[in-house]
Chains A and B, each alone.
Chain A
Amino acid sequence: MLSKFIFLYCALVIITTALLAVRFRNPVHSVLAVLVLFFHMAGLYLLLNAEFLAAVQIIVYAGAILVLYLFVVFLVNLRQEINIERFVAHHNISIGISFLVFVMLMVGSRSFILGTHGKWTIDAIREVTHTKALGTEIFTSYILPFEIVALVLLVAVIGGILLAKQEKQGTAVDGKESSGPLIEEGRK
């Protein structure tokens, strides 16, 4: 009974903050709404006996990724953002499309049946602690995907530095000249 109450509270907060994040005019407010959402998502993970993932959710998502988002939001011009239209033209079609996808997902999940059960019951996890169980699983059955993820992170680090790097003086002037007419065309 109590777990149902906690679930309903978390679900309510998640849906509200997700809607607010989409609707807020100021991007900083959107990012802060998503921060609240991530904390409640970690609460749901705790409800599902995934303590390690709850910690990772808070440390990586709320601690690292959202701070990155906040930095980039502060880099762009906020004063202009608050005064202009935040939605694209014809955004009513998108509401229809996403509602249609929701109906399809609900109809599809109606016929869902759980498959065969694995060996990690709650008691088995409690015996060796959750982090150790997850670590055993990652470093035995999933060692190759783990190495691939390490490679993906390396590529992301190099790519992020390359993309955000300040260009050299000479090439920067060239780039500005070539993109000048493009900006003009875009404004038309």
Chain B
Amino acid sequence: MIPVSWYLTLSAILFCIGMYGFLTRRNVIIMFLCIELMLNAANLNFVAFSHYLTDLRGQVFTFFIIAVAASEAAIGLGIVVALYRNRQSVYSDEINELKG
């Protein structure tokens, strides 16, 4: 039997790698990809808890998170396409009009 703390550690590592990528990369598409990594870390936690608590609620939530991730990807990539069409650039540090 694998201890539940192994899953917690793995998902913490994955979450932090996703956060590192989100904070450092310039490309907006890779930033969205890193959000997917963080959502996957949360999903892993939910499924691990669901298994160790012998309750299906965590898996139901994972199911909903996957649906929300799909809609987030559709909207986010739509924004990226619109951005690239207007600005010819997908770099987060070049989009700084609101900075003043």
Contacts and interface: CB of A to CB of B under 8 A. Distances in A.
8 contacts: A50-B50, A56-B66, A57-B66, A69-B77, A76-B29, A88-B24, A109-B8, A137-B56
Interface of B: 1-2, 4-10, 12-21, 23-27, 29-30, 32-34, 36-37, 40, 43-44, 47-57, 59-60, 62-64, 66-75, 77-82, 84, 86-90, 92-97
A50 B19 contact: no
Interface size class of A (residues with CB under 8 A): 35 or more
A95 B20 CA distance: 6
A101 interface: yes
Query: What secondary structure prevails in chain A residues at the interface with B?
Result: helix
Nearest to B67: A149
Contacts of A121: 54
Contacts of A77: 88
B71 to A, nearest CB: 3
Contacts of A88: 23-26, 92-93
Contact of A21 (B37, B43, B50, B72): B37
Nearest to A182: B97
Contact of B59 (A3, A68, A97, A134): A134
3 A-B pairs with least C-beta separation: A118-B55, A156-B71, A163-B78
Contacts of A129: none
A156 B75 contact: yes
Given A48-B51, A137-B57, A69 B9 contact: no
Interface string A114-142: 11111111101100000001100110011
Given A71-B77, A119-B54, A146-B64, 14 more contacts: A7-B2, A85-B26, A86-B25, A87-B24, A95-B20, A105-B8, A114-B49, A114-B52, A159-B75, A164-B77, A164-B78, A179-B86, A182-B87, A183-B87
Contacts of B51: 48-50
